[in-house]
Amino acid sequence: MDTSDDKWFVEQFHLRSPIEEFQESSRLEIERLRDRNPRFDDSIHREAIDLTLRKLRPGLIGAKR
């Protein structure tokens, strides 16, 4: 196969895992709220994010290994 540097004529697909997308989306949401209110308390957002991440992260094989 061709191993030249410019062989990939299609750029990488700019999608990330749902966990990454969720984290990034949540981070932007918190930043947006903080921009509107500098004293915004993000504790509930952090709690919601942690809860969601616990549900999203698999662990069967990781736990087995």
Dihedral (CA of 39, 44, 48, 50) sign? positive
Q: CB-wise, 8 or 38, nearer to another protein? A: 8
Figure out which of the listed residues 35, 39, 41, 52 binds another protein, where binding follows CB under 8 A: 52
Please provide the DSSP assignment of 35-63 as one string.
HH-TT---HHHHHHHHHHHHHH---HHHH
Residue 42 is a binding residue for another protein (CB under 8 A) = no
Residues in touch with another protein (CB under 8 A): 1-3, 5, 7-18, 20-22, 24-26, 29, 44-45, 47-49, 51-52, 55-56, 58, 60-62, 64-65
